[in-house]
Chains A and B, each alone.
Chain A
Amino acid sequence: MTARTRRDSLAFLAFVAPNFILLGVFVFWPILYSLNLSFFKWNMIAARKTFLGLENYKNLFEDPVFWQVTKNTLILAAATVVIKLAISLALALRLDKGVKGSSVYRAIIFSPTFTTSVAVAMVWSWIFEPTFGLLKVFLSPLGIASPHWLLDVNYSLPAVIIVLIWSGIGYDMVIFLAGIKNIPREIFEAARVDGASPWQNFIYITFPLLSPTTFFLTITSFIGALKAFDVVSIMTDGGPLNSSNVIVLYLYQNAFQWFKAGYASAMALILFVIIMAITLIQNRLSRRWVHY
């Protein structure tokens, strides 16, 4: 080993050390520690932990609230992703036309991406207010009586989904737009010469060539929705009767309100496994079928 190589190696390690120490302590090690905690009963205060083996997991699978929360999370993720992607793709296609004022439209529609989620949840709680809320203005002319959105077991989850769609459309739209701009214009020129209609353009050119973007957004939005917390916590706190409760909120309640650290860790591990599985499937599939 030359002096130069040695010096470089040391410099490299010194440069990456702060990042890797932090990643180790706050990102990688917590997975192992969560796994370990999930075998214990512990309130995060007592010096002693009680070993339970797989008891936490067994209880979790027998916990009807956990199943409801998992179901809610999956419904929320699926509904949010499908509706959000459909709307944002339609808007991206419109923005791509480059009409005057497009950059203003884009800036407005994108703005919720950076808007503090807690404040978003506040204003939407007020919009959903059944007597004086803004939504009633749009529902009453249609002859629809405003439900007690946030207090009704049938409407609390849809209310949360609406807010997540509202917040997320802009980001997806901007990513779709970038994807559309990446499609070589000559293909559309050729199609135009062949007399393709705008609809045919979309079905045979834009949509297939956008599939990497669509796929990327589907996966990232789905994973993002699995981690939903802020809006749910503020708007409904998971209620009423857990009708809008989701995995991360239930995890938080178990760990930091009821001090069941072991039980919550088991939940964290399950969430981790689900998200890793989706990520691995993404890696596999994106190699196989996505049309580049």
Chain B
Amino acid sequence: MDASTIRRGAGMAARKAFTHAVLAAASLVIGLPFLWMITTALKSPAEVAQFPPIWWPSVLRWDNFSKAWSLAPFGRFYLNSVITASSGVILEVMIGALSAFAFARIKFKYSGFLFMVMLAAMMIPGQVALIPNYVVLKSLKWINTYQGIVVPHVSSVFGAFLMRQYFLTIPASLYDAAEMDGLGHFRTLTRIALPLARPVVGTLVLYLFISKWNSYLWPLIVTNKQNMRTLPVGLAIVRSAEYAIGPEHLMAASLFVLVPVLAVYVAAQKQLIEGIAAGAVKG
């Protein structure tokens, strides 16, 4: 090995170390709030009010979670969030798959025009629709109902677009074979196209579930009874309530909301990140 190779090797090692330093620092900045949330949730009130803060409490106060749970009907909030998020995902995927299949496989004179109309909907900010949607739901008597939380947000543009792209890549011979076997459009969709599109549909389901679970503004507007609140809305209301709630209980309650999302993320992060990257580049 001559001197210049060694120098180059040292330069490369330095560059690598720099890369690690930058990425580790960024991970730390992003990760610390999560850690701070968890350690706070396990502290005693005295430890919370300590500066400089301790990073790991001497005794882990797991009872903070049961105390936080009793501050509001969190069991009910959970039920509401699970019901609205999952029914919303199921409906949106079904509605999107039907549209996607029509645009990919069924001939219709105005198909191109309708496709443009559908995509145009993606540009319209949902905030414009808050008041009209509220008025519509009120006249339907859907305020404080699950359908009121779910139905205004199950039309599918992004999902329909994504699934259509996938349906177009399925070889025509498969569709022809389905037709020969006497399968109509609907059964071709449910028995051939959707099972083949499982990876795309799977990513879409996770993505939609998380975004519906996290949604705040619409459930806030369309519910005003405690027993119809979803988790994020319930959490916000717990904090703004008159009684004083300590940071340790607030962080514990925040973790109620976060844990399911983080669990999905940890289990499927690769799929979710790559799905997002692929979608943005192709879309």
> Using a CB–CB distance below 8 Å, which chain A residues touch chain B?
5, 8-9, 11-13, 15-16, 18-20, 22-23, 25-31, 33-34, 37, 44, 87, 90-91, 94-95, 97, 99, 101-120, 122-124, 126-127, 129, 131-132, 134, 136-137, 166, 169-171, 174-175, 177-179, 182, 216, 223, 226-227, 229-230, 233-234, 248, 251-252, 255-256, 261, 264-265, 268-269, 271-272, 275-276, 279
Complex Cα spacing A5 to B106, Å: 10
Contact between chains at A105 and B26 (CB < 8 Å): yes
Contact between chains at B16 and A99 (CB < 8 Å): yes
Complex Cα spacing A9 to B185, Å: 12
Among the 9-residue stretches B30-38, B58-66, B170-178, B197-205, the one with 4 or more Cβ atoms under 8 Å from chain A is B30-38
> Using a CB–CB distance below 8 Å, which chain B residues touch chain A?
15-16, 19-20, 22-24, 26-27, 29-34, 36-37, 40, 48-53, 95-96, 98-99, 101-103, 106-109, 111, 114, 117-118, 121, 123-136, 138, 151-157, 160, 184-185, 210, 213-214, 216-217, 221, 231-233, 235-236, 239, 247, 250-251, 254-255, 257-258, 261-262, 264-265, 269-270, 272-273, 276-278, 280-281
Residue of B nearest to A262 (CB): B131
Contact between chains at A275 and B125 (CB < 8 Å): yes
Residue of B nearest to A110 (CB): B273
Contact between chains at A126 and B30 (CB < 8 Å): no
Which single member of A23, A90, A99, A268 contacts B127 (CB below 8 Å)? A268
Contact between chains at B118 and A126 (CB < 8 Å): no
Contact between chains at A123 and B33 (CB < 8 Å): yes
Provide the residues of chain A in CB contact with B40, threshold 8 Å. Answer: 126
Residue of A nearest to B107 (CB): A8
Complex Cα spacing A149 to B54, Å: 22
Contact between chains at B107 and A107 (CB < 8 Å): no
Contact between chains at B254 and A122 (CB < 8 Å): yes
Which single member of B51, B157, B216 contacts A117 (CB below 8 Å)? B216
Provide the residues of chain B in CB contact with A99, threshold 8 Å. Answer: 16, 19-20, 23
Please report whether the interface of chain A is mostly helix, strand, loop or mixed according to DSSP.
Answer: helix
Contact between chains at B128 and A26 (CB < 8 Å): no
Most chain A CB within a 10 A radius of its CB, from B49, B99, B157: B99
Pairs A–B under 8 Å by Cβ, sample size 20: A8-B106, A11-B185, A19-B95, A19-B118, A19-B156, A19-B160, A23-B118, A23-B157, A26-B129, A26-B133, A34-B131, A44-B135, A94-B22, A107-B270, A116-B231, A127-B36, A129-B247, A132-B51, A252-B221, A272-B125
Provide the residues of chain A in CB contact with B265, threshold 8 Å. Answer: 111, 114
A103 and B270 contact, Cβ closer than 8 Å, known pairs A19-B155, A22-B155, A271-B127: yes
